[in-house]
Structure 1
Amino acid sequence: MPERDFPTHTSETAPAAVRPTMEGVRQKFGYLPVAVARMAESPEALKGFLTVNRFFEAAALAPIEREVVVLTVATRNECHVCVALHTGVLHRSGAAPELIEALRAGTPLPAHRLEALRRFVLAVLDHRGDVPDDELRAFLAAGFAKRNALDVVLGVGAYTISTFANRLVDAPLDAPLAEYAWTPAA
């Protein structure tokens, strides 16, 4: 078996400890994403991501702000699965096409507040959390609170797990996400 040929688990082949988790994901999405089926090789990794993500979804950031965090991390880490999945989330939420396009391209966002958030996420990534004071001031001046800065760190952590795992297991794009396929700009 080649090194990157991670098993695509089913409810029958997955470790018993992760089968209920996989079923929960299947119910949420209406299908079992291959990325989840492959991450199930480590029940702790899959459950860990889903747990951290559940906390991130409860953070004080608005849903559109959380998607800015996710797509900024996903494009930076070149995870085509996360970009496609969260593009779909934005489309279903009625987000402006210009916002979605800019997030996918990694270019400045049309709304000042969301652009300040995107820049802050990049600063967290670029400086491994040691964000320069001027970047933090700009984030706070855009109307965010210090709590939101920590919420961003939580989102970066959650989606670092997801994007790294998806790339490690060479997760393909699931058919339901095909219309949102993405490749990094050259």
Structure 2
Amino acid sequence: MFTEHTVESAPAASRAAMERTAAAFGKTPSAVALLAESPELLNGFLELSASFERSTLEPVAREVVIMTVAVRNDCHICVNMHTAKLRKLGAGTELIAALRQGEALSDERLQAVRQFTLEVLATAGGVGDEDLKAFLAHGYTERNALEVVMGIGTYTMSTLANRLTRAT
């Protein structure tokens, strides 16, 4: 149903983002081509994603947040794209498999991020004091807690849009 745009067919306000993405990936990913229908969504997601990448959470911890949201929301394209990113970051096969299957992680610090992400989702942000303290006890900060919320928001938007557009 949704149009998988080229740079030429996309709304004018989506074209620069599509060109930047194609330059970064060597091609225009299907999800970007589909989201281009809404320049506001495409540009908003890419800006939020770039901002999340600049957060103080470590790269693998950011990917734990993203994969937790992607698996929860059953977004296959996100799971596949972020599996590749985890491999690029040197994440082990055990960690990747556990994330893909929605299982507990053997790395306690990364499991704390995963569990906190799930708790934020389950409580719509109304995380209890004990759950927040458990997250902080693993060396994370209040800033990191807010960054998890940012990651959840960013990747909830993309996973829902990707599912709606049937991105593959």
RMSD between superposed Cα atoms in Å: 0.6
- The alpha-carbon deviation at position 111 of structure 1 amounts to 0.5
Where does residue 92 of structure 1 map in the other structure? 88
Which of 138, 161, 166 aligns to 2:162? It is 166
- Give the corresponding residue for 2:149: 153
Aligned length: 168
Question: Are 1:117 and 2:121 an aligned pair?
Answer: no
Cα distance in 1 for partners of 2:106, 2:130 equals 21
Distance 1:21 1:92 in 2: 23
* Counterpart in the other structure of 1:133: 129
Amino acid paired to 1:19: R
Q: Distance in 1 between matches of 2:12 and 2:109?
A: 44
State the distance in 2 between where 1:85 and 1:169 align.
Answer: 16
CA–CA separation in structure 1 for the residues paired with 2:152 and 2:68: 9
Report the alpha carbon displacement of residue 133 of structure 1 after superposing the two structures with TM.
1.4
**Structure 2, unaligned runs of 5 or more:** none
Q: CA deviation at 1:127?
A: 0.6
Correspondence for 1:103: 99
How far apart, CA to CA, are the structure 2 residues paired with 1:149 and 1:94? 24
- Asked whether 1:46 is paired with 2:31, we answer no
Structure 1 runs, 4 residues or longer, greater than 4 Å off: none
Aligned to 1:66: 62
**CA distance in structure 2 between the partners assigned to 1:40 and 1:11 by the alignment:** 9
Aligned equivalents of 2:131, 2:10: Cα separation in 1: 44
The answer for the alignment partner of 1:55 in structure 2 is 51
Structure-2-length-normalised TM-score: 0.98
Structure 1 match to 2:138: 142
Can you give the 5+ residue segments of structure 1 that lack an aligned partner in the other structure? 173-186
Whether 1:8 aligns to 2:4 is: yes
Residue type of the partner of 2:106? Answer: P
Identity of aligned residues (%): 54
* Partner Cα separation in structure 1 for residue 115 and residue 74 of structure 2: 17
